[in-house]
């Protein structure tokens, strides 16, 4: 379980939320605060039924801001700006907050750098076991 989220992000978010899968309108999913991914709860042929079920399971106190933040956090990480309910208007639409955009760009650059470093380390480790290079899923082995 990935429980990486900031204290500020965790404020105002429920422990769980029931949402409609972004690319499958008839699928109700459960998202848990602090966890990446989702759990499928139910599938319906009629997307309206799915939305009705999700709304009922969330209860009347769940806001659209919270729902959007929960979906964003589960997809992009709990420290991204989208995981903060303050990033959204009351109707769930995204606010244009420049300070969040700048902070997020910095995190993305840091992650890209970390990814490059991890790839270089992996290549060194693979070289030790005889893998010469990796290119698009195809490896070239040294003759032993």
Q: Which pLDDT tens digit goes with each residue over 64-120?
A: 999 999 999 999 989 888 898 988 889 988 887 555 555 665 566 565 555 566 666
pLDDT at 143: 46
The pTM (predicted TM-score) of the whole model is 0.61
pLDDT at 86: 87
Half-sphere exposure of 29 (CA within 13 A, CB side): 18
Residue 4 in contact with residue 34, Cβ under 8 Å?
yes
| String of DSSP letters for 17-73 | EEEEETTEEEEEEEEETT-SS-EEEEE-SSHHHHHHHHHHHH-TT--HHHHHHHHHH
C-alpha distances in Å from residue 112, one per residue of 10, 69, 90? 25, 23, 33
Q: Between these two residues, 142 and 80, which has the higher pLDDT value?
A: 80
pLDDT at 3: 46
Q: Give me the residue spans of the domains in the chain.
A: 7-95, 100-141
């Amino acid at each position: 379980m990935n429980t990486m989220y900031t204290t500020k992000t965790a404020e105002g978010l429920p422990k769980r939320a029931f949402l409609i899968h972004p690319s499958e309108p008839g699928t109700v999913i459960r998202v848990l605060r602090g966890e990446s991914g989702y759990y499928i709860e139910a599938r319906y042929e009629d997307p309206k039924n799915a939305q009705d079920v999700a709304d009922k399971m969330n209860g009347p106190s769940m806001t659209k801001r919270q729902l959007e933040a929960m979906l964003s956090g589960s997809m992009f990480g709990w420290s991204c700006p989208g995981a903060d309910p303050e990033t959204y208007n009351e109707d769930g639409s995204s606010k244009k907050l420049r300070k969040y955009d700048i902070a997020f760009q910095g995190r993305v650059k840091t992650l890209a750098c970390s990814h490059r470093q991890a790839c270089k380390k992996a290549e060194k480790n693979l070289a030790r076991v005889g893998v010469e290079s990796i290119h698009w899923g195809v490896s070239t082995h040294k003759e032993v």
